[in-house]
Amino acid sequence: MKKSVKDVDVKGKRVLVRVDFNVPMEGGRVTDDTRIRATLPTLQYLLDQGASVVLMSHLGRPDGKVKDELKLAPVARRLSDLLARPVESLADCVGTEVEQKVAALAPGQLALLENLRFHPEEEANDKGFAQQLARLGDVYVNDAFGAAHRAHASTAGVASYLPAVSGLLMQAEIDVIGQALEDPKRPFIAIIGGAKVSDKIGLLRNLIGKVDTLLIGGGMANTFLVAIGCQVGESLVERDKVSEARELIRLADSSAVQLILPRDVVVASAFANDAESKTVSCQQTPDGWRIMDIGPATVKQYSDIIITARTVVWNGPMGVYEMERFAEGTRGVGEAIAACTGVTIVGGGDAVAALERAGLAANVTHVSTGGGATLELLEGRVLPGVAALQDKE
């Protein structure tokens, strides 16, 4: 159990907060402020407690170089609107001028440092760079769950030099996902999709033995279908992972876990939204065609299972949901999860995006803000940004 921001006294102190403001922008404007909004409870709490707040984040992949289109000033403006108070945008994230401006902050004031990744030392977890960042605060709060799987200067290094605790968003992520894995209400159902089984092997191995039922979809299901002898035409298949898929099926069987594969699929004559398409049995994909989505019978089967669950974890879409013609499987699973009265957790960028596109995010218990971090936590791996925080006594 890690200490949270509510376990330390921040009154009159400068609090250095790592946030995940890696948000989409266009024309110098934030186009999706979901990640900014997710940090508001932590920031409002700190301000209400009489702290001054120094925010730091990365944006994009500038590879250690200053890039105008990846500067954080538009993010500061959007945060200012959301908090209804000024947020000063600083020209750098380290250095004498930054230290002077941060020292001048009064309780209740905020400043946002410039993009951390303009400095190559950030991703290198450079000790000197971490020490420079640490000089900007009295207390360190990590509320950037989406970056917690990275051992960078701002996520792990700085925690060596300041009292380090989790923000409210980080705490919620750790608590909800941790509870689901360690002491779930049952039946515990996991729905795993996405393009490649190679990306999810660690996740599947960790879930087998924890869940009661594992529902497989997306492009990764093709490799499992080949493993049980199905013909999948020109579908994406990781031939070098077929034996691994067979092993996972055997592992599930020996662990008394139901591992369920699609019974029907939507296939297309080409990888295109306007291609000819039809629904076939999972064993009858025509030569030259490719699987694009799970079929309606599979959606109903999966939905009937999901609706009975008391804990649900969903990671990865069921098909090529970006193409409207092949989004029905993902949408159907999302609707079943939204209708489930148990604890429902959705993690991973694509599943979250599909849920939000369908307007269902508000009907889910917890929508994780992490992509790779969520996946690694579900795999049972230790996240550097979490490990660096102080433990509760």
How far, in Å, CA of 259 to CA of 93, rounded?
A: 48
Q: What are phi and psi of 58, to 5 degrees?
A: -105, 170
Catalytic, out of 334, 349, 370, 385: 349
Per the annotation, the verdict on 372 as an active-site residue is yes
User: Whose CA is closest to 130, among 121, 141, 138?
Assistant: 121
H helices of the chain, where? Answer: 34-38, 40-48, 73-83, 96-103, 120-123, 127-134, 168-182, 201-207, 220-227, 242-254, 296-306, 328-339, 349-357, 372-378, 384-387
Per the residue annotation, which of 50, 108, 202, 372 is the catalytic one? 372
Q: Are 248 and 300 in contact (CB under 8 A)?
A: no
What is the rounded distance in angstroms from the CA atom of residue 393 to the CA atom of residue 3?
Answer: 9
Report the sign of the C-alpha dihedral through residues 323, 328, 333, 338, in that order: positive
Tokens, residue 332: 């159907």
CA 260 to chain centre: 25
Please state, in angstroms and as integers, the Cα–Cα distance from residue 27 to each residue in 33, 71, 328, following that order: 15, 12, 33
Which member of 2, 14, 35, 290 is catalytic?
A: 35
Kindly tell me the sign of the dihedral angle through the C-alpha atoms of 72, 17, 161, 105.
positive
The residue from 6, 196, 205, 310 that is catalytic is: 196
Bridge partners of residue 30, in order along the sequence: 25
Residue 340 phi, psi dihedral angles, 5° rounding = -70, 135
Question: Is 349 marked active-site?
Answer: yes
Whether 35 sits among the annotated catalytic residues: the reply is yes
**Is 150 one of the catalytic residues?**
no
Q: Which residues are catalytic?
A: 35, 196, 349, 372
